[in-house]
Chains A and B, each alone.
Chain A
Amino acid sequence: MSGPSSRRALLQPSLPRQSLSRGSGTQFLETLAAWILGFLWILPLLYAFWTAFHPPEFSTRFEIMAPLTLENFRRAWEAAPFARYFLNSFMLVTMVLAAQLVLCTLAGYAFARFDFPGKEVAFLLVLVQLMIMPDVLIVENYRTMGHLGILDTIPAIGLPYMASAFGIFLLRQTFKTVPRELDEAARVEGASALQVLWKVYVPLARPVYLAYGLVSVSYHWNNFLWPLIVTNSVTSRPVTVGLQVFSAGDQGIDWSVITAATVMTSAPLLVAFLLFQRQFVQSFMRAGIR
């Protein structure tokens, strides 16, 4: 057998990639291990679905023939003003995302394409927020909201997160990859700086906006501690806080209703995730790499 030709054959891209030595026995065991881990990872969710969709007497008994029901959801929905909580969460994530997109686009553009004294220092100052997030500054931010007179409002939940260092950083990196020639061509035609941003940079960054949007929406839909602190009434609480108030009740633990409420709270993101699985995973990837 001639060495070189067989080597060339091995390098053909049509060959299966899984060419590193590994016996079929080990392969079987590894697949089995992966599936067991995957099952364990999804188990809490399966458990929640089981309990939410079955009558309370089956909440800890697993019988294939157990009857399905939506009764738990009806009871949960009636036991707390979830419609209002959902509306609040929806308004919160929309408001935060809209503000973030505008602020981070402007700042990212400045860092990517303008030269001004103090730019390096300013950028480092922005990066500080990657480490010291609003999540740990709850005591002082609560006080500030008190001074501003906006405690217990939806804007108070969103304001600390609107100037997002992560968003500024992400868009700066993206805008830097835009060829300067496109920028200059637009300027030659008499476009102002903001027009160039809107006509050239923003359209080219569309996938990054989608990625950032998904990350931001899931973060703020799920956020809990700061909304818990700053809200105090039904008219401003997001679903996460509503759920906590609901499940911390004294009427004894009714698992069926609590899991139904839990499934309900997670449902919007879960449905979005199942529909756009590929985009979700790629978004988180894209957001992390840069």
Chain B
Amino acid sequence: MSRGAIHGWLLLLPAFALLALFTYWPVIGTVWDSVHATARGGKPAPFVGLENYQVMVADEVFWKSLWNNLWYALGTIPISIALAIVMALWVNSAMRGRTWLRMAFFTPTILPMIAVGNIWLFFYTPQYGLLEQVLLPLGFASRNWLGSPDTALACVTVVAIWKEAGFFMIFYLAALQSIPPSLGEAAAIEGASRAYYFRRVVFPLLMPTTLFVLVNAVINAVRLVDHIFVMTRGGPNNATSLLLFHVYQVGFNFWDTGYAAALTLVLLVVLAVVAIGQFVFLDRKVHYQ
């Protein structure tokens, strides 16, 4: 090996040591643990084959969490991306107060989700929470927003949208600012309407950003569960249990490591599918070169 090669690997070594210990090894460990029972009483865990997966198939909470997570993703991803585009267009225009608007939209991004959960919990409180204070005088019946299985998931989804839209707005803002103004001027000369200009010029130019944001939004739909801990703890009746929250409960409330590993593997498969999808659909040159 040349000196350059040795230097190259030496420079990589510290980062790779940590990646190996806290990313690659855990992935292998997840697969390994998922086919073993949970070790009890200091004895090594016996091999159980697919037993953990049979438990999973029969686990109603797992299926409930999977569906919840799907609805959570379908709720947050399109709405937060659409809102992000609208916000970015507004903030990027000559609108009055756009600095103030940018700040208002972006602020949720830097607030801790766990703190935000407390505030929203207060919002949704029956009778005297802010939502009820607005709705009751308008003649709506009082309801327990987070306490009822019909509305709880929608409530936590709204919080995630609120948290994410401003974050995604930033990426769209950057993309909009890289579009040459001469395009808009040319469209104006040709008499194009704003809607037409957006649909035929701006939106296609935003496509790489949309794909990038989409991947991030999917990852966040898996990852963003902090507010569940303060707002509902997965209830009522598992109506707001998401996959990662279920992993936490199985792994750290019931201490069933084997089954928690099998559940983690489901998450890893979802993320791998997203990764492969990104690899196939994205022009790699745009983002990685």
Contact = CB atoms under 8 A, between A and B. Distances in A.
B104 A115 contact: no
B96 to A, nearest CB: 6
A243 interface: yes
A98 interface: no
B229 A41 contact: no
A110 B191 contact: no
A94 interface: no
Contact of B112 (A139, A140, A221): A221
B112 A134 contact: no
Contacts of B137: none
Nearest to A176: B289
Interface residues of B, number: 105
B19 A129 contact: yes
Interface string A99-115: 00011101101110011
B226 interface: yes
B4 A259 contact: no
A131 B26 contact: no
B214 to A, nearest CB: 13
Instruction: State the main secondary structure of chain A at its contact with B.
Output: helix
B172 to A, nearest CB: 10
A11 B110 contact: no
Interface of B: 1-2, 4-9, 11-12, 14-19, 21-27, 29-30, 33, 83, 87, 90, 93-97, 100-116, 118-120, 122-123, 128-130, 133, 162, 165-167, 170-171, 173-175, 181-182, 184-185, 187-189, 191-194, 197, 212, 219, 222-223, 225-226, 229-230, 244, 247-248, 251-252, 257, 260-261, 264, 267-268, 271-272, 274-275, 288
Interface of A: 7, 10-11, 15-22, 30-31, 34-35, 37-39, 41-45, 47-48, 51, 60, 102-104, 106-107, 109-111, 114-117, 119, 122, 125-129, 131-144, 159-160, 162-163, 165, 168, 193, 218, 221-222, 224-225, 228-229, 239-240, 243-244, 247-248, 255, 258-259, 262, 265-266, 269-270, 273, 277, 280-281, 284-286, 288-289
